[in-house]
């Protein structure tokens, strides 16, 4: 079926699926956390809005690009997705993705020059991930982590205007690097069979499920230890108890995720793997929000942002993700 014959509502729903709304808030929260840590509170409204929404626009553009480069694999593994199902054409995907990227770039012109430079750096990282490294095991996972590290720095330099950044914030950038590297590794577990058919060499394919989970646990230990050490040495948090509570809540969710994965390691289905990663997606919203809640003076606003982000993430996962990822 040609994409141009598809009813408009089906096209709009296909765009919604491609945007994957359950993934969007993470990058915005990471960038905003960088700005808040650099400023010491919520920055002025204009900067807060820009550093929150520009990464989201870039993330959406990256998702469109990823679906374009994955179209042949998806025709084997996930023929229901927008391009192989004919609901969207490859040309439409590229045009709409480019529009999101251009809009994000134009908005970045309202921020310091370094933010513009970082946008291009992230663009190269996104292109490299989508076209080259996604199928290359740990290299692809680290590429994803580097994208999130740069997103955090995007928020930081929106305030500082320079790469002369305190050591504490460089350390926190590494926290987000290891965190998203880890999340990307867990996300790859559900696609093992399809990735094998497509000739991909993801971490679970290269090292097996058990070793992949051990790598993930190691990365969790690294980013949590780095978080604890940085917060202990540097007085970044104005509300350390609030911060600690939400970090511990995230750790609890991680423990549940690992319990599910290790207990069913030898009979792990794509559906169970997807559910485990959905827990990680919820944890990362809570983890990024912990920094906002811990440093900002408006507890009500920061907790509201966390609740709204988490609610939309969980609801969209429930309504859309299994259909998009597995059906």
pLDDT tens sequence across 113-128: 999 999 999 999 999 9
DSSP secondary structure, 73-125, as one string: HHHHH-TTSTTTTTSS-HHHHHHHHHHHHHHHHHHHTTS-HHHHHHHHHHHHH
Q: How far apart are CA 244 and CA 149, in angstroms?
A: 22
Q: What number is the average pLDDT over the span 108-114?
A: 97
Q: What number is the average pLDDT over the span 263-281?
A: 93
**pLDDT at site 195:** 80
Residue 2 reports pLDDT greater than 50? no
> Hunting for tokens 């609740």 — which residue is that?
307
∠ CA(255), CA(257), CA(261), 5° rounding?
A: 115
**pLDDT at site 204:** 95
Residue 78 reports pLDDT greater than 80? yes
Q: How far apart are CA 137 and CA 301, in angstroms?
A: 39
Q: How far apart are CA 106 and CA 102, in angstroms?
A: 6
pLDDT band at 327 (very low <50, low <70, confident <90, very high): low
Q: How far apart are CA 242 and CA 291, in angstroms?
A: 9
Domains identified in the chain and CATH numbers: 3-325 (1.10.600)
Mean per-residue pLDDT of the chain: 94
**For residues 8 and 42, which has the higher predicted lDDT (pLDDT)?**
42
Q: Which residues contact 44 (CB under 8 A, 6 or more apart)?
A: none
Residue pLDDT, tens place only, 200-239: 899 999 999 999 999 999 999 999 999 999 999 999 999 9
H helix or E strand, kind and range, residue 141: helix 138-160
Residue 319 reports pLDDT greater than 50? yes
Q: Which residues contact 152 (CB under 8 A, 6 or more apart)?
A: 30, 31, 33, 34, 172, 173, 176
**Which of 29-43, 69-83, 268-282, 291-305 shows the lowest mean pLDDT across its residues?**
69-83
Residue 1 reports pLDDT greater than 50? no
What the block records as the tokens of 205 is 């394919």
pLDDT band at 199 (very low <50, low <70, confident <90, very high): confident
pLDDT band at 4 (very low <50, low <70, confident <90, very high): low
Q: How far separated are the first and last CA of the chain, in Å rounded?
A: 19
What the block records as the tokens of 280 is 């990680």
The fraction of the chain above a pLDDT of 70, given in percent, is 98
Residue 3 reports pLDDT greater than 70? no
Residue 76 reports pLDDT greater than 60? yes
Residue pLDDT, tens place only, 121-162: 999 999 999 999 998 999 999 999 999 999 999 999 999 898
Whether 25 contacts 285, CB under 8 Å: yes
**pLDDT at site 198:** 76
Q: What number is the average pLDDT over the span 13-17?
A: 95
**Which of 70-84, 95-109, 127-141, 292-306 shows the lowest mean pLDDT across its residues?**
70-84
């Amino acid at each position: 079926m040609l994409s141009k014959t598809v009813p408009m509502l089906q096209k709009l729903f296909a765009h919604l699926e491609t945007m994957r709304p359950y993934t969007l808030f993470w990058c915005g929260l990471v960038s905003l956390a960088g700005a808040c840590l650099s400023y010491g509170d919520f920055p002025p409204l204009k900067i807060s809005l820009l550093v929150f929404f520009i990464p989201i626009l870039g993330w959406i553009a990256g998702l469109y690009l990823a679906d374009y480069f994955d179209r042949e694999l998806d025709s084997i593994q996930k023929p229901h997705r927008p391009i192989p199902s004919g609901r969207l054409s490859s040309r439409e995907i590229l045009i709409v993705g480019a529009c999101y990227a251009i809009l994000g770039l134009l908005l970045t012109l309202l921020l310091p020059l370094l933010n513009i430079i970082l946008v291009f750096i992230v663009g190269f990282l996104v292109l490299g991930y989508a076209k080259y490294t996604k199928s290359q095991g740990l290299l692809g996972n680290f590429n994803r982590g580097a994208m999130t590290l740069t997103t955090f720095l995007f928020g930081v330099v929106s305030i500082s205007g320079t790469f002369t950044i305190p050591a504490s914030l460089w350390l926190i950038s590494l926290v987000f690097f290891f965190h998203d590297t880890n999340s990307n590794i867990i996300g790859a577990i559900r696609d093992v069979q399809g990735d094998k058919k497509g000739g991909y060499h993801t971490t679970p394919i290269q090292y097996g499920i058990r070793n992949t989970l051990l790598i993930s646990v190691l990365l969790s230990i690294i980013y949590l230890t780095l978080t604890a050490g940085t917060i202990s040495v540097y007085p970044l948090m104005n509300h350390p108890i609030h911060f600690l509570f939400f970090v511990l809540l995230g750790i609890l969710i991680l423990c549940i995720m690992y319990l599910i994965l290790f207990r069913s390691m030898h009979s792990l289905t794509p559906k169970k793997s997807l559910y485990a990663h959905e827990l990680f997606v919820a944890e990362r919203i809570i983890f990024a929000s912990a920094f906002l809640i811990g440093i900002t003076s408006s507890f009500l606003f920061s907790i509201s942002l966390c609740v709204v982000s988490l609610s939309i993430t969980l609801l969209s996962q429930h309504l859309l993700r299994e259909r998009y990822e597995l059906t």
